[in-house]
Every structure is written in C-alpha cells, then in structure tokens.
Structure 1
Amino acid sequence: MSEREAYVGQPRPRREDHRLLAGLARYVDDIKVAGALHAAFLRSPHGHARIVSIDVTAALELLGVVTVVTGEDLAEDVTDLTVAPPIEGLRPTSMPVMPVDRVRFQGDLVACVVAADRYVAEEAMERIVVEYAELPAVSDMFAALRDDSVLVDEALGTNLVARRVHRAGDPEARLAAAPRVIEAEFHQQRQTHAPIETRGCIAQWDPGREHLTLVIGSQVPHPLRTQIVRRLGLRDSQVSVSSPDVGGSFGQKIALYREELAICALARRLGRPVRWKEDRMENLLAACHAREQWCRTRAAVDDTGRILGLTLEMVEDFGAYCFYPANYISEVVGIILTGQYGIADYGYEIRVALTNKCGVGPMRAPMAMASWVMEGTLDVIARRLGLDPAEVRRRNMLADQALPYVMPGGETLLDVNCAETMETALDEIGYAAHRPHDDGRYLYGLGLCNVVESTTYGSRFYKNSGIGGSGHEAARIIVEPDGTVSASVGMAAAGQGYETTFAQVVADGVGVRPDDVAVTLGHSDTSPYGMGSRGGRGATAGGGALYLCAAEVRAHLLRLAAHRLGLNATDGLGLRDGRIVWVRAGGSEETGLDVADLARTAYFDPLALPEGMRPGLEFYRTYDPPPMTFSNSTHACRVRIARETGRLEILDYLVVENCGTVINPLVVHGQQAGAVAMGLSGTLLENVVYDQAGRNLSATFADYTIATVADIPAIRIIARATPSSRTPLGLKGMAEGGVMGAIGAVANAVNDALSVVGAQVTCLPLTPMRLHAAIHDGIGRAAQGQEG
C-alpha cells in the first residue's frame, strides 16, 4: 500500500455535471435581483457614419423609462480605453465607452436605454431618432492598407495599426541562393465564438459602502476588476466581480466590453441595480470576432524537400477597435510557426489592419492558423517536387536529440515527441497504402497535420507581447475546522471541468480524497488574484499553483502530526486519504490520527501546537510558469469529395496526442474532441461575411452556420504522453491543439484529393460551393491543356 492514492490520472466523473445537466446551474440570467432595471443598446445600422444628432425625447416619454444616455453622457463617468504597450511597430489606440461623434461598424453603440423591464427598454430604443451622415467604409483588409483608403480611426492617420518584423539567421540570403523557391498562400475566414450563453451582466452599486458588485460570465474575474477600477476611477476594494456558471466562452468572455462598462457606470449613476443581456443577433453582430488572416510563405528548398530558409508574410483584419494590442494574436502565429521543424533561417512580417467591422479578439486557439500554414507549405513542397508528404516532414523534423531547441521565433521547444506521434498516426490511418484517387463519383484524399501547441503563457510571454498584467497564478487552500479542504485559484470555469480536476490535484498534493476537497472559483473576493482562464493555461498555471500550495499544506500537517505523536521529525509519516499513516516497507500502518484531528488542534487548541506554529490552517502560494510549454500532436484524416456537388465527407479522423501528464482522462478526452469539433466547424462552415459598405450579412444562425452532431465524425484519440520537465506534475495543456490540427488535417486532405484533377484551395471555409468550383476549374484547365 502506497502512502497516497494517485488521484491524478484517474477518470473521475465531472462533479459539476449534475447541476449543469439537471438544470440546477446558475447563469447570469438565473440570478434574480430585486428592483433591477434593464438596459438595451441602440446600435448603428451603418458600417461607417458620422452621428449628426440624437433625439431621445420620445424614448424618455415612454412610461417605465428611467434614463437614456449617449457617449457624451457617459464620457463624464468613464475614461477611455488606451491600448499602448511599448511594442515596436504597434500604434497606440484609444476608445471611449460609447462613440461620441462617429460609428465605425454595423452594431457599434449609439445610445443606451435603462427601463423598468427589457420590453420597455426595447420599445424606447426604437423611439430614439438618430441622424447619420453615412461615410465610405472599408471592409477588406488589403484595401484598408492602401494609401488612399478610408481611415477607420482618423486619430491614427493610417489603418496599419501594427507592423512587426522578426528575423533569425538570413532567410533572404537563403531564398536568393536556393535551388528552388516555393510559395504557398493561405486565407482563414472571419469567425465568431457563438457561445450558448451570450454576453450579459448585473451591476449593483451600494451607495452606503460605495461598492460596486458585477455579476458576469467571465474567464478572468480579477483582470476584469482591474479594468473596471481603472476606467471608473475606483479602488480595488470598491469592486467585486463574481462569475457564476458560464455557458461557454472560447475566448469571447475575456475582455471588458463597452456594454458591460456602461452598465457599471449606469448602476453607479442611478444607485440601482442594472442588468443587460444581449440577444443572439447582437452577439453575432457586435460581441467579438476572430481569425481573419492571410498568409504567404516562401520556402527555399533543395531537391529533396529540405527547407533551407523560410519567410512568412501575414496580414490580419483587426476590425474597428482594439480591445487587445493589435500584434498579440498574429504574432503568436509567427513565433511558433516552424514548430517541430529545424529551420534556422526564418523571418516574418506581420501587418494588422483596422477595418469597419466588429473588433477582433482571441478565439479558442488564436494561433490556429500556424499549423495549417506550416503543414500546408510542406504539402505544397511535396507536390511541386513530386515527393511523398510524410517523407518531406521526416526530412525537416527535429531529431529527439536536438531538443531542447530554441525555435527561430525565440521560444524553447522541449518535452515533445513529434516523430513518435507522426509515425503512430501514419500507421493507424493506413498511410502507406493510400493514394489520392478518383472513382468517377468521388475524389479521395488523406491529410496530415503535425501540431506544436503553445500553452501556459507565463509572465515573460505577456510582457513581451504587451498584454497587461502577468502570467502568474495564485492558489489559496484552507483546511477547515472539520478537516475538509477548501481550495481556490484565480481561474474561472467555462466548461473545462476545473472543479473536478483541481480537486484531484489538491487531493494528491495534500494526501486527502478528492471528495473531501471543495473548489471555489470565479469570485474576486474569495479567490486569490490570478490572470484567469485563457490560452490552455488552466492545468499548468492553475493546477500548478494548487499543487505547490497543497504540498505546503501536507508538509505543515505532517509537522503537526509529528508533534501530536511526540516525534521530533516527520520521517516515516505520510498522509493517505486524510489519515496520518506510518510508511513502512511494503505498505503503511494507521497512526490513529486524521486531518480532522489535526484541524481541531490547529483551530481550537493553539496551545497544543508546536512552538512557532501559527493557529489555523490557511495557506497561499503563487506560481509563475514558463513563458510557454508545448504539447504536440499529429492529426490525420481521410476524406472524399463528391465530384458533382462538392460535398465533403470525413471518412476517418485520428489524433495522436502528447499533452503531458493527464489529470483526468475523461475531461482531457472531452477537451480534445471538443477542440477538434470546433476546428472542423470553422474549417467547413463558419463564415462572417461583410459587404463593401460594411454591412454584416451573417448575423443570424440561418447565415452563420455551425456544425451539428451530424457534421462531426467519430474522432479516434491515441495518447502518447511526455510530461513537461518544467512544471509541477509534468502538466502542459491541450485545449486548443485540436482546433489547430483539424484545420490543417482537413485542408491538406482536401488538397490531396483535389490534386487528382490538378486543383487546390487556399481559402476557408471548405464549402461544397468552393470545392465544386475547384474541381470543375481543375477539370476545365486539364481539358484546355489536352486540347492545346
């Protein structure tokens, strides 16, 4: 019998699922606040326009309307958001809580109505009369970067909000001297997060205590509080942020949005609770978008397919406003692009444009394009040189003995097993027997995508990227007087299973059962200050902090136990399932003490404590993880495409994953499969479409299509784990790699199939219309060549 059970690694059912599935969860809309007023926002119907006048007279006359405010009104209460970290090539931007004189995208804020109920607020909103002077709009990022473009933010004097250039070695010299230079292009479409629960919040101002409480579904309660404090001119002690159950986020619920800040300001101004909930059209139109990026690679190669040098040119559409530094999302793509491939001479140039569209933020795997671009480039090299795509990957892949390896993007790659995951995937998918072919009805293809997923994001990464705050996390553990363990960390859950997995980590660290660990999350008053949930950092940053704190709890309890047993040292003592045991060769024996006994002593008999030991059992620990850790995986899939319709079917989908130590296999499998499903949905269906006037043509689920269970194939997942050498318990993270791999694997499989007819697609999504056009364009070109 071992000293402790190893709860880390056990497939324990998620404890939060009972309330979530039984309808007992508490989302923002489930929380009732007596006397709460309701807010509704009037939004611009234009992509770009000057606000000539706003007449709210008729709205104020409606019974039940409390107030109507505009940007000018709120400017008295709220400071502008300035995004201006000292990053070379990044232009500072400023944004008011609501526009005063000009709207920049369809859905931009114009006015806010506060009324006794939502229905009255909506009706009053329709009575507001706004005179606009419509302005030319720019909805194409390449057009936005032209010298004669309409300016989205006149204060900048340009639409180029960020330009970042990085060089390692001399890639230009390699390109100039190379036997061959092969170019490839990739265009990822604009998408949005579409969580089941749209944005919403409740703000309450206590005039007696001068204290603001905000209830909001958020991934980052503490950073959100910091932003509110700064924008409203308050102190940290005057603001509490509480995040209850959250119905999905995927990155959309990180920023403090203007609507939420306006609700806080209005609650303070009116001295009454104010609540707001957006509808689905508002969410699709104006919450947050993501992903719209174009890339071109130029690879210097020899005749064997070995890459001698590589450059990346990238353009990103950031929309009308900057909630984040504009370099942040795209630069991660540049940093990790080369991944597991040994390319010493590498450079990237990234340009980020403002356009008259909804602003952009991180979406699950903001660096999602990186794997498709790198793996797609390798496939293009293989096709141009008549080589096997897997062999080209082998020739460029780093050998195990080359690790740790400083990638040309600057981060250190280690604790990965890229060759192992790829070779396993090739065997399992039957790669050796595959040939792209056409049976007269269908085109058949197979795609590979090797993924290096950056996770954790410690303080150095955020500092270098210009993101406010740090990358550390903090944990607090209290052993209660009855012996139960209460653990909290600065994370907020949005479906990841934190309450279950964190309990397993604490249980192993302390030496108790997971059922005796209560995990509390999402409240700035009860959880220690942390940077929250984002970037696949939950396990490494949050779990790491909890495990280190739990180890201190265990050591403290064993010292107290030794004193109770009349010992001078803890040698030979252990903690197992909450009981103090003698650790013997081949097993353990009970001492008769348990954690409850020790807790009673610590709280109720401090005179019986060892000299110098404080009463009570409260512990606090911070942890700043490495700048990045890396998980890796290989995705492989088989597809077929109907010649006559372009309909794509995924016949087999496989993932071989190395995500480090697995805390809970059930939770990890769900995260991996969910990430793949999200990646497939974006690759095949999702698309935010704007016309030239900046009108969003896809602001309903009739137009913005999302994959259903009928569209997602069975996903086979094989584990090939290598623990991290730099984190507690060897934790890494794996919540985003599935998105990255799905994009690359499916796109590469499609192009493998299309190669039969001499066609290729470089733009997502891979809709039947796009594939049908590619097939018949290829057939047409082949026919013209034969005729010639």
Structure 2
Amino acid sequence: MTVTPARPKYVGGAVPRREDPRLLLGRGRYVADIALPGTVSLAVLRSPVPHARITRIDTSAALAAEGVLAVLTFDDIRAEVTPLPCIDVYPDTRPALQTVLADGVVRYVGEPVAALVATDDYLAEDALDLIEVDYQELPAVADLERAVAPDAPLLYPEFGGNVVNTVHQDVGDPDESFATAEHVYQETFTIHRYAPVPMETRGVVADLDPITDRLVLYTSTQFPHLVRQFLSGVLSLPESGIRVVAPDVGGGFGGKCEFYPEEVLAPLLTRRLRRPVKWIEDRREHLVAASHAREQRHRVSAAVAADGTVTALDVESWTNNGAAFCTLATTPASISSAMTRGPYRIPNYRARAHTVVTNKTPLAVYRGAGHPQAALVMERMMDIIAADLGLDRVELRLRNMLGPAELPNDRGTDIVLAGHVVYDTGDYPESLRRGAELIGYPEFEIERRAALGQGRMLGIGFCCFVEETAIGPYESAVVRVDGAGKVTVLTGSSPHGQGHVTTFSQLVADELDIDIADVTVLHGDTDVVTEGVGTFASRSGAIGGAAARRAAEAVKHKALAIAGHLLEIDPADLEWHDGAARALGSPDTSMSLGQIATAATPWNPPLPGGMDWNLTATYQHQAPGIAFSNATHAAKLEVDPETGQVRVLDYVVVHDCGTVINPMIVEGQVHGGVAQGLGGTFFEELVYDEQARPKTRTLHDYLMPTVGDMPWIRTSHMQSPTPLNPYGIKGAGEGGASGSPGALVNALADALGVTLTSDGPWTPERVLELLPENS
C-alpha cells in the first residue's frame, strides 16, 4: 500500500474561522439561551461575612414565600453529597476541600450558604432575603504575610496553620553558587489578584431525560467529560446516568476549568422537583463566587558571576489560595515554581512554593496558570541585574540563554499533573534578537532622547519565557465518513473561543485531501462524544488535533484497503490523491472517498482478512511528554508625566508554538492574551480590606481595558516542531497572557527609571507617585 503524503492544502494557512458567522449573526446558543418547558429558577444565598460560625438558619419564611418550590441548606443534603474534588493535590497536601453548601462555618464572602428554587428569577431573588442566618463572626485574614504569621487566624484549626501545600524544586547546588558568587541580588515581588471575567458568566441548566430518567446538565464549562466524572463522584451516580452538554461558551480562561457548587445544586434540585432548574450567574456573583487568579508573592535571590552569568536562583513563593481548594488549586504554585528560570541556563535552582489559605474567594488557574508570574519575576530580575552591572538588557539575556544545540534540556523540575520538565525544541536567542529588532531597540535611545525633549517619557520592556503546553494524559477523536462522502469529527476537546472547528477541520481535510467544507466537527456533549478530557493548558491542537488527524489517517488507510478490494488492485499499488484512492500509473482508475463510503455498507458481502465496511476510526492520542512553546514579548510605551497616563505605542510578539495550523488563529490567541495582560497591568484589581471583605463588587469598581487601550500588536511566527506528536504542534492559547505582564512592567520601569517589584495595576495615580518629584 502506498500513501502519498497529504498536500499542505489548509494547515499553515490563514483559513477564516468557520464558527464565526453563526456567532456574529446572533445564532449562538449559550446556557442562558436554553429554555426548557417548565424551567424554574435557582438562586444562591451567599455569605456576607468573610469568616463566621453559622449558629442558626431559618428557611421557613422563604419556603412559604410566593413561587418558592424548595429551599436547601447543607443539613438537607449532607447524606447525599461529598465535598467538591481537587485533582492536583500532592501526597502531603492538607485538603481544604469545599462543601457544596457551607457546613457550619463560612470562610469567604460569597460562599454558598443556602439555595432555593422559585418559579421565576425575581421571586427567587426576593425569597433569598427571607432566609434568616445568624453568624458568629470569627477573625479573618486576607494578607499573605499575615496569614503565615504564627498568631494568624486559622481557617482550618485542625491543620495547625494556613500553609496547606508546599512544592519543592531542587536542582544542582545553589548554596555553593551563592557562597562563591561575585554578586548576589535579592528582591521581593508581588503579583496582585484579579478575575477571569469572561463575556459569558457561568450558568447551568439541569433536567431529567423524560424517557431514561437520566440526569442532563447543560453547563458553561471547559471540560464537560470531567464535569460528568466529578458529578458522578459527588452525587454517587454512575456516569452512564449523566449527560453533560457544554453548548456555546463565551470564554473560559481557566475560570470555567473548575467544578462549582452550582453544578451540584441544580442537579440535586431537579431530581427533587422533577423539573428543569436553571441558574445564571450575575456579575456581582462572578466577582465573589467564581475562582480568582494570580495573587502571589515571590522572594528571589540570584547568584551572579562578574560577567553577568546567573549561576543560581533561590525562590520562595506564597500563593494566596483563598478559603478553599478549587478543582485545580496547587497548579499555579507548581507551575510558577517549576518554570521561573524560563529560557535561561541557570544550573543551580531551589524553589519552595507555598499554597496558603486566607478568607478570600478561592483562587485557581487563569490563562497561563503560573507562567505569567514566573516570567515577570525572572524578567524583572534580569533587568535589575543588567542595570546594576551596566550591561545591555538584551545582551545579558543572550549570555544566559539556552541555545538550540542545548535542547532537549532536562530542567530537573516537575509540574503537578503534567510531569517532568524537559524542554523539547526552540531557538530562544533568535526569538529575542528578532523581537529586539522589530520593536526598534537598536535605535531606541535616540528616540527616547528626542521624546524627553518633548516632555514624553518612553520605555521598552522585554519578556522572554518558555511555557508548558499540550499536557495529557490523552484526548480522543472519532472520524467517520457517511454515505455521501462527508466527514464528521467527534472531539473530546471542548472549545470556548479557540477555533477548534476551523483548526480540526484543517487537519482532517489535509489528511484526507478533501475540501474543508466537507468536514463537520462536533464537541461538547458527552452523549455524542463519549470520551474526552477537555480544553485547558494550551492542549487542544497538539493533543486533540493530533488525535483527530490520526483518526483521519486511519480512515484513509481503511479506505485504501476497501478500494483495493473493490477495484481488485493490490492496495500496495494504490495511492491517495485528491480525496480518492488511485491506481499508481493509471490515474483514471480510482475511487473517491464518497464512492468508497457509498459502497462500504453493512449489507455488502464480507470483506476479506477481518476488514470491515465501516469507514470510521477512533484514536486516543497519548501525550508522551510536555511540549514547550516559547516567545519574546517586546513593549514600547509612553508615560505622560503630567497625568500619569500610560499609552502603549508598539507591541511585538515573536511566538513559537511549533507547527502553526492557522496563523490567524494563533495571532488572535496572542492578541487576546496580551489584552488580559494589559488589563492586569494597568486596570484590573480585586481589592479586599484588612478584614477580608471585598471592596470590588461590580464592573464599576473592577476596571477593564477597552479596544481604545490596545496597541497594534505585531506577531512574528517561529516554528520549532516538537517530536512529541506526529505533526510538530505545540500549544498557543496562553502565550499572549504569559509574557505581557513582564514586558509591560519592564517597559514602565524603563520609562520611569525606577525599580518596580509589583505587577500593578499601574493606574495613573500610582504612576504619578513613582515620579521623582512626587516620591
């Protein structure tokens, strides 16, 4: 059998997104759009205090209120549910697991205390006010430093402290390097807390199938198959009795990569009432009840030789986890501790990364999940070292960078759930050189002096990083051909804006050498796609896409075998070309995929050799290791010394995600990530007072960037294919967010001529405070 390699017809091209016309024309179907007959409304009573013992709950008035059908407290469901799962715990982790409703103690403002169902949203919200709860307030703690003090209020007294997990990373002999170092630098960096804020808030609709009595849950999630698994465990139901559907999802960013109490409450209540139950989160709830992001503190020491070579790094970090574990609680600390060295050689390394509970909303993964923090810390240190030694910032980085000949490179660290860190491929120095050239770094000092003469303060900042992508353990795909020769792809990846329909269609169309319009991609329904993992950690193209293409390859081999039988030609004398099996040397003797599919019907005579007529193939792509993308971000910005206003003038990203499936989609992912990094650097902040009461309660308080704040972003693609899948694909979804905070903060520090040890948010008021005349 001869298989001619598929022509690069679609992969690598800027194919327009196939999913967009429907969404742009308002034909999307989100959870809020699902209107089942007889649907009733779920509302959740949330704690107004950060830490308290519940001494009394009286639901009688609410239960008697107009339209109210049911009210639940934890005592009502105690025998039916287990705590919510956390899947990234270490063996010695203290399990600060959250219950579906508060079990006697509340630990953050926004924690669910009771739930009720009424005939409409308004009656449900009104009835919440009738639930009487007596709280005996307890001391609360919000600040990381205070939380780890010996006399800190304890969220879980049985643990004996608020540090619930510590990740250890040890490489080489840091102590020897520090003892003999020419220079030692020490800094403490803070990364503030912010929120994912997707366009669509969370939502669930639970129902019972009228025929099978199976539970059906529509939910705005990034991993419907894992929701099915978690729901099965919490409610002690067989997975076969649960169907989970993720319809259109209006952004996730990690905030929907969690399993939440409402995804249990709605099923509990629909089983009681035998009616569909619906809950849609509002923005006030989102800012206190959905997972938060980023907040860490890093104490960093660097041992540096006289020539600027960094010989050792010692990092101790604390992650403000909030009051309880989310599904992925220790991952931010694990990733930031494993990846702080980024693209730099630094042979000796020690990290201690502590996860700390406080009386804030639980924190979890958010686009980049530890990479932005690690990159900002390392890149700030590089600028600080360069300035002290009088070295050029780019030259210092190049002096310390791993080169292509040093890859693959075992970094000696590990990431929870993902595994051991071995950098696979890349050219980190070339990425930096290209970024410096594109941003105009060689001529920048001339531009800076001219701007100063006009009263303008300019700065350039760089951020170079390596990020873990394409983690496993696997992803599933089914490719099947119908009687008309059209192809359907079922994928366990569940998109929320990434363009799966387009990119998976490109991969499959190229493998089968057919028109992309003949490919349909289905996802997000556990009854349609029976196995899957989900979409997170920049894994979809490399894991889900690889599975889809390998399944298409299997279909092609099966089609060649069937064609050989029907044409009475040895399959070894056939080639696959232009969507057809064709005889070598005789192109007129051929069968198209559609003709093969039409002939391949179960009522035909049996095929020889155990072959079957079914033009369907299933493939699970197992991840043999982690694929590592890399990038250089370069930002040029201007500070107005009169107002403190910062304007980003130019932004360059040199991005390497291995084989690029669709450059337009990669650029869109980069642009979106940069917007989130810019928002966190200059606008977004979740503020708490000293008693752990949130002061940021609406979007009036929580500032978001607009299109007017965004610079023009120029993206340059490098391609260093990974050997970890047959197509060389790495992940691209988080690179924009991972590098932008570091580049922007470095640019701001350069413009102001100050040492910055915080990621912001650098509002105009705070920028003005940094100016020499105001400091």
TM class by smaller structure? over 0.9
Alpha-carbon distance in 2 for matches of 1:290, 1:2 = 45
Residue 245 of structure 2 is aligned to residue 242 of structure 1: yes
Between 1:399-408 and 1:648-657, the stretch displaced more is: 399-408
Are residues 205 and 41 of structure 1, via their aligned partners in 2, closer, same or farther at CA, if it must alter by over 3 Å?
same
Are residues 745 and 695 of structure 1, via their aligned partners in 2, closer, same or farther at CA, if it must alter by over 3 Å?
same
The SS at the match of 2:628 is strand
State how 1:110-125 maps to structure 2 within 5 Å: 110-125=113-128
Alpha-carbon distance in 2 for matches of 1:521, 1:100 = 37
Q: CA deviation at 1:597?
A: 1.4
Amino acid at match of 1:765: P
Residue 172 of structure 2 is aligned to residue 169 of structure 1: yes
Alpha-carbon distance in 2 for matches of 1:741, 1:110 = 39
Question: What is the aligned partner in structure 2 of residue 465 from structure 1?
Answer: none
State how 1:472-621 maps to structure 2 within 5 Å: 472-576=474-578, 578-582=579-583, 589-607=587-605, 609-621=607-619
Alpha-carbon distance in 1 for matches of 2:118, 2:709 = 43
Question: What is the aligned partner in structure 2 of residue 403 from structure 1?
Answer: 407
Are residues 627 and 93 of structure 1, via their aligned partners in 2, closer, same or farther at CA, if it must alter by over 3 Å?
farther
Q: CA deviation at 1:41?
A: 0.6
Match of 1:733 among 731, 734, 738: 731
| Aligned 8 A contact 2:169 2:338 in 1 | no
Residues 196-252 of structure 1, C-alpha deviations (whole Å, 9 max, x = no match): 111111111247634100011111011110000011011011000011101111111
Match of 1:433 among 403, 422, 443: 443
Match of 1:48 among 35, 44, 51: 51
| Aligned 8 A contact 1:484 1:516 in 2 | yes
Q: CA deviation at 1:327?
A: 2.7
Q: CA deviation at 1:570?
A: 3.2
Are residues 171 and 254 of structure 1, via their aligned partners in 2, closer, same or farther at CA, if it must alter by over 3 Å?
same
Match of 1:450 among 461, 464, 475: 464
The SS at the match of 1:185 is strand
Residue 386 of structure 2 is aligned to residue 378 of structure 1: no
State how 1:617-632 maps to structure 2 within 5 Å: 617-632=615-630
The SS at the match of 2:16 is coil
| Aligned 8 A contact 2:474 2:620 in 1 | yes
Are residues 611 and 89 of structure 1, via their aligned partners in 2, closer, same or farther at CA, if it must alter by over 3 Å?
closer
Residue 310 of structure 2 is aligned to residue 307 of structure 1: yes
Amino acid at match of 1:385: L
Residue 766 of structure 2 is aligned to residue 770 of structure 1: yes
Alpha-carbon distance in 1 for matches of 2:654, 2:501 = 27
Residues 409-446 of structure 1, C-alpha deviations (whole Å, 9 max, x = no match): 25111211111111111112221222365447332211
Q: CA deviation at 1:156?
A: 2.3
Q: CA deviation at 1:780?
A: 6.4
Alpha-carbon distance in 2 for matches of 1:403, 1:22 = 47
Alpha-carbon distance in 2 for matches of 1:350, 1:94 = 20
Alpha-carbon distance in 2 for matches of 1:554, 1:614 = 14
Q: CA deviation at 1:399?
A: 2.1
Between 1:50-59 and 1:20-29, the stretch displaced more is: 50-59
Are residues 378 and 583 of structure 1, via their aligned partners in 2, closer, same or farther at CA, if it must alter by over 3 Å?
farther
Alpha-carbon distance in 1 for matches of 2:625, 2:295 = 26
Percentage of pairs with the same residue: 38
Amino acid at match of 1:653: Y
Q: CA deviation at 1:64?
A: 1.1
| Aligned 8 A contact 1:139 1:694 in 2 | yes
Q: CA deviation at 1:761?
A: 4.6
Residues 61-106 of structure 1, C-alpha deviations (whole Å, 9 max, x = no match): 2221101111111212212235486725422233221012111111
Q: CA deviation at 1:111?
A: 1.0
Alpha-carbon distance in 2 for matches of 1:597, 1:19 = 31
Amino acid at match of 1:562: G
Match of 1:61 among 35, 60, 64: 64
Q: CA deviation at 1:635?
A: 1.0
Between 1:312-321 and 1:122-131, the stretch displaced more is: 122-131
The SS at the match of 1:593 is strand
State how 1:632-647 maps to structure 2 within 5 Å: 632-647=630-645
Question: What is the aligned partner in structure 1 of residue 661 from structure 2?
Answer: 663
| Aligned 8 A contact 1:311 1:348 in 2 | yes
Alpha-carbon distance in 2 for matches of 1:391, 1:7 = 39
Question: What is the aligned partner in structure 1 of residue 417 from structure 2?
Answer: none
Question: What is the aligned partner in structure 2 of residue 784 from structure 1?
Answer: none
The SS at the match of 2:355 is strand
Between 1:253-262 and 1:426-435, the stretch displaced more is: 426-435
Q: CA deviation at 1:299?
A: 0.7
| Aligned 8 A contact 1:689 1:697 in 2 | yes
Name stretches of at least 5 consecutive residues in structure 2 with no aligned partner.
414-419
Alpha-carbon distance in 2 for matches of 1:3, 1:740 = 34
Residue 390 of structure 2 is aligned to residue 413 of structure 1: no
Q: CA deviation at 1:575?
A: 3.5
| Aligned 8 A contact 1:84 1:92 in 2 | no
The SS at the match of 2:54 is strand
Question: What is the aligned partner in structure 2 of residue 213 from structure 1?
Answer: 216
Are residues 260 and 704 of structure 1, via their aligned partners in 2, closer, same or farther at CA, if it must alter by over 3 Å?
same
Question: What is the aligned partner in structure 1 of residue 416 from structure 2?
Answer: none
Amino acid at match of 2:382: L
| Aligned 8 A contact 1:561 1:593 in 2 | yes
Question: What is the aligned partner in structure 2 of residue 391 from structure 1?
Answer: 395
The SS at the match of 2:285 is helix
Q: CA deviation at 1:569?
A: 2.3
Alpha-carbon distance in 1 for matches of 2:108, 2:519 = 48
Are residues 590 and 703 of structure 1, via their aligned partners in 2, closer, same or farther at CA, if it must alter by over 3 Å?
farther
Amino acid at match of 1:432: P
Between 1:615-624 and 1:272-281, the stretch displaced more is: 615-624
| Aligned 8 A contact 2:317 2:353 in 1 | yes
| Aligned 8 A contact 1:203 1:273 in 2 | yes
Q: CA deviation at 1:604?
A: 4.7
Q: CA deviation at 1:296?
A: 2.1
Alpha-carbon distance in 1 for matches of 2:194, 2:625 = 28
The SS at the match of 1:563 is helix
| Aligned 8 A contact 2:44 2:128 in 1 | yes
Q: CA deviation at 1:453?
A: 1.9
The SS at the match of 1:631 is strand
Residues 241-286 of structure 1, C-alpha deviations (whole Å, 9 max, x = no match): 0111011111111211012211111111222211111111101111
Alpha-carbon distance in 2 for matches of 1:92, 1:122 = 33
The SS at the match of 1:401 is helix
Q: CA deviation at 1:720?
A: 1.8
| Aligned 8 A contact 1:339 1:407 in 2 | no
| Aligned 8 A contact 1:547 1:728 in 2 | no
Are residues 595 and 605 of structure 1, via their aligned partners in 2, closer, same or farther at CA, if it must alter by over 3 Å?
farther
Question: What is the aligned partner in structure 1 of residue 104 from structure 2?
Answer: 101
Residue 298 of structure 2 is aligned to residue 295 of structure 1: yes
Match of 1:691 among 678, 689, 692: 689
In the superposition, the TM-score normalised over structure 2's length comes to: 0.95
Q: CA deviation at 1:608?
A: 6.0
When the two structures are aligned, how many residues end up with a matched partner? 761
Amino acid at match of 2:613: P
Between 1:597-606 and 1:124-133, the stretch displaced more is: 597-606
Are residues 759 and 208 of structure 1, via their aligned partners in 2, closer, same or farther at CA, if it must alter by over 3 Å?
closer
Alpha-carbon distance in 1 for matches of 2:752, 2:187 = 16
| Aligned 8 A contact 2:329 2:364 in 1 | no
In the superposition, the TM-score normalised over structure 1's length comes to: 0.94
Match of 1:330 among 310, 329, 333: 333
Q: CA deviation at 1:547?
A: 1.1
Alpha-carbon distance in 2 for matches of 1:5, 1:497 = 19
Cα RMSD, aligned residues only: 1.8
Residue 232 of structure 2 is aligned to residue 229 of structure 1: yes
The SS at the match of 1:155 is helix
